[in-house]
Amino acid sequence: MRHRTFTALMFAVALALIAATLLVKNEFYFQAAYTVLQFVVLATAWNILGGYTGYVNFGTAAFFAIGAYTTVVLYNAFKAPLALSIVAGTVVAGLAGLGVGYLTLRLRGVFFAIATLALSVVLYTFVVNWDYVGGARGAYVLAPREVPFGFERYTHLLYAAMVLMAAAALAVARAVETSRLGRGLAAIRDDELAAEASGVPTLRLKLVSTTLSGALMGMAGTTFPCYLSFVEPSSAFSLNYAVNSIAMPLIGGMMSWLGPLIGALLLGTVQQVVQVSVRSEWNLLIVGALLVVFVTLAPNGIMGWVGAWRRRRRA
């Protein structure tokens, strides 16, 4: 399927999901769908760097928080509309990804992973001490009195925005995977030294990867303050974002854009069910248990297991 056709299909599905809001009256479904779709964006963004390129990133929460606090800054400055906050947060997080990539991508393996984790700690400390965005106390971002585009509630608008962001993230991931960029990133993942010796511009491709990954993570965070009407450092830099953004591609499969989507839908739905039926504190335990199961039984994720099963069946 051509990329333009795939993109059109993604946004057609997104519009259908948005139109379905007219049939749903229970607010819980909007909140649950928003959270699951947010993880779709984060998992897809992480996979561009972690799955396609082979660089494990523990700094998901940092880029997510950059998007969230860009919204807070614009709200405090002039009550910026949601669309402007999304665009600005995406750009700022992408530039941050470019800068961080330039400084850290000469590191490899565990050293790169530790550097991205240090980024979250540094940004967390900076935000805690930044009074303009509320510091450790947090900041409020109130919903407008009139909901634009004819939506009944503001949560419905945020759900629609997240649906469109998920469609955009999947379209970007598939475009990367099926392009020359994707083939270059795969060469880096398989053997970076051999790729560099073969003439692949490894640093330039890795910078593109970190920029795209950071931008999409930041995009996912731009609506977070609007969704809760309040944001504080401990929530924006939550460990859940780093853990889930890694676990979901691992469970779904990291070699395809479809893997993070499957992992996010599966794991995100399970977490939402557990949150309302048992306790939300069980979520990380469930993630850990599923990771152990899949790493043991299906180390290449669901997509890898399906691919192996199909090859055995053909043989």
pLDDT of 58: 93
Model confidence band, residue 172 (pLDDT cutoffs 50, 70, 90): very high
Domain range annotation of the chain: 3-238
What is the rounded CA–CA span in Å between residue 315 and residue 308? 11
What is the rounded CA–CA span in Å between residue 219 and residue 117? 20
Dihedral of the CA atoms 113, 117, 120, 123 (nearest 10)?
A: -90
Mean pLDDT across 257-284: 84
Residues 250/301, Cβ–Cβ less than 8 Å: yes
144: how many CB neighbours lie within 10 A of its CB? 12
What is the rounded CA–CA span in Å between residue 314 and residue 71? 52
Catalogue the E-assigned strands of the chain.
139-140, 230-231
pLDDT of 132: 94
Model confidence band, residue 298 (pLDDT cutoffs 50, 70, 90): confident
What is the rounded CA–CA span in Å between residue 89 and residue 307? 37
What is the rounded CA–CA span in Å between residue 183 and residue 202? 11
Of the two residues 57 and 4, the one the predictor is more confident about is 57
pLDDT of 108: 82
The Cα-based distances of 299 to 49, 140, 253, 308 in angstroms read 19, 42, 9, 11
pLDDT of 221: 96
pLDDT tens-place string over residues 225-269: 999 999 999 999 998 899 899 999 999 999 889 999 999 999 999
pLDDT of 280: 65
pLDDT of 147: 87
Mean pLDDT across 124-132: 95
pLDDT of 157: 94
Residue labelled with tokens 């996912």: 220
Mean pLDDT across 105-128: 90
pLDDT of 313: 80
pLDDT tens-place string over residues 51-82: 999 999 999 999 999 999 999 999 999 999 99
pLDDT of 295: 78
pLDDT of 293: 83
What is the rounded CA–CA span in Å between residue 24 and residue 29? 8
pTM higher than 0.75: yes
Residues 89/70, Cβ–Cβ less than 8 Å: yes
Of the two residues 2 and 185, the one the predictor is more confident about is 185
What is the rounded CA–CA span in Å between residue 153 and residue 255? 38
CA neighbor of 211 nearest in space, from 176, 186, 245, 238: 176
Mean pLDDT across 268-285: 78
Q: Round the average pLDDT of the chain to a whole number and report it.
A: 91
Model confidence band, residue 49 (pLDDT cutoffs 50, 70, 90): very high
Q: Which residues pair with 230 in a beta bridge?
A: 140
Model confidence band, residue 179 (pLDDT cutoffs 50, 70, 90): very high
Lowest-pLDDT choice from 228-237, 273-282, 306-315: 273-282
What is the rounded CA–CA span in Å between residue 53 and residue 49? 5
